[in-house]
Amino acid sequence: MYNTRAQRSRGRRLAGSLAFLAGLAIAALPISATAGDFAEVEVLGFSKSGSHFAFEEFGIQDGSGFPYSNIYLIDVADDSWVSGTPQRRLDEVDDSQPLDFAEELARTRAANRDVANDVLGQTGIAGFGQTVGHNPPTERTSDPHLMIATTNLSAPTIGGPVTLALQEIPVAKPGNCPDGFGTIQGMKLTLTHEGETRVLADDSHIPKSRGCPLRYRIERFVTHTPVFSGPTYFAVLVLMEKIGFEGPDGRFLAITGKL
C-alpha cells in the first residue's frame, strides 16, 4: 500500500491494472488495516410540489486523494434520475505540495453546483422537506436495517408511523468485481404505513452504477407535505458500502415515492 497521499495519487494515475492488483493485495489484509472513504451528504430537498428531490454526496476519494461531488436529481413519480443527471465532478489536485483539502473540496463542490444549478432550477428544487429519521454510519446503538418514524417534525406525535425495513440479499457477482472482499449484496427495501406494506426496491441483480456493494444501511428518511392534509412525498437515503481502492467506500442511494 502506498505510504503517502502524494504516492497514492501518482500510483492511481499509472494504470487501471495497477489499481486492480492493489485491490487484490488489500483483500489479504485485515479490515482494520484498510481505509476507504465514506461520502458526506447534503440534502438539497424537494421541489415545492414534491415532484422532484435532490441531494449531493461529496468527499475526498480514497487512493487518489482527489475531491469529488456528485449531485443527484430524481423524478419522484417514477423514482428515476432526471435526464442529464447525476452531475458528477472529480478534480485532480497536485498533492506533492501541502494542500488544504477542505478548501479543495469546497472549490469542487461550488463548481459542481454551478453546473447543476440550471437543472435544479428548472425542476424547482428549493430545499423543501424535513429529515424525520437519521441513522449515520457512526451510530452503534440502533439497527442499520430498520427505521420507524412519523412524518411531521413539527408535530411528531400526530399521524401513524412509517416503518422502513431493509434486507441484504446475496446476488450473482458482476464480472468486474474482484474476489476476496466478501459477498456482493443486493437489497430489498419495504415501507409499511397504515397497515399496508409496499416494496420500494427488490434487487435481482446489481445495477452497473452501484459498483460492487457489500453492505447497506437506512441512513435518512426525508418527507415533504406540500398541502395541508394532502399526500406526503418521501425520500429514503440508503448508505451503501462498496469495494473501493483502499477499502470499503460509502456512497448513497435514494428511493423516492408518495405515501
pLDDT per residue over 154-184, tens digit each?
Answer: 888 888 899 999 999 999 988 889 988 889 9
How large a percentage of the chain has pLDDT more than 70? 86
Lowest mean pLDDT among 12-21, 54-63, 197-206, 231-240: 12-21
pTM, two decimals, is: 0.84
Domain span including residue 242:
5-46+124-258
Q: Is residue 54 in a domain?
A: no
Distance between CA atoms of residues 225 and 49, nearest Å: 9
Q: Is residue 195 in a domain?
A: yes
Q: Which residues lie closer than 8 Å to 74 by C-beta, 6 or more apart?
A: 52, 53, 54, 80, 81, 82, 235, 254, 256
Distance between CA atoms of residues 197 and 118, nearest Å: 37
Q: Which of 110, 46, 114 lies closest to 74 in space, CA to CA?
A: 46
Mean of pLDDT values over 218-223: 98
- pLDDT confidence tier of residue 231, bands split at 50, 70 and 90: very high
Q: Which helix (H) or strand (E) holds 149?
A: strand 146-149
* 140 has a pLDDT exceeding 60: yes
Phi, then psi, of 237 in degrees rounded to 5 = -95, 125
pLDDT value of position 28: 39
Lowest mean pLDDT among 38-47, 92-101, 109-118: 92-101
Q: What one-character DSSP code corresponds to residue 38?
A: B
**Residue 207 grid cell:** 445495477
Radius of gyration of the chain (CA): 19
**Residue 86 grid cell:** 447525476
Q: Is residue 91 in a domain?
A: no
Domain count, the chain: 1
* 15 has a pLDDT exceeding 70: no
pLDDT value of position 5: 46
Q: Which of 133, 139, 140 lies closest to 165 in space, CA to CA?
A: 133
**Residue 28 grid cell:** 489479504
Q: Is residue 61 in a domain?
A: no
Q: Is residue 68 in a domain?
A: no
Give alpha helix (H) positions in 143-217: none
Q: Is residue 163 in a domain?
A: yes
Within 13 A of 104's CA, how many CA atoms are on the CB side?
17
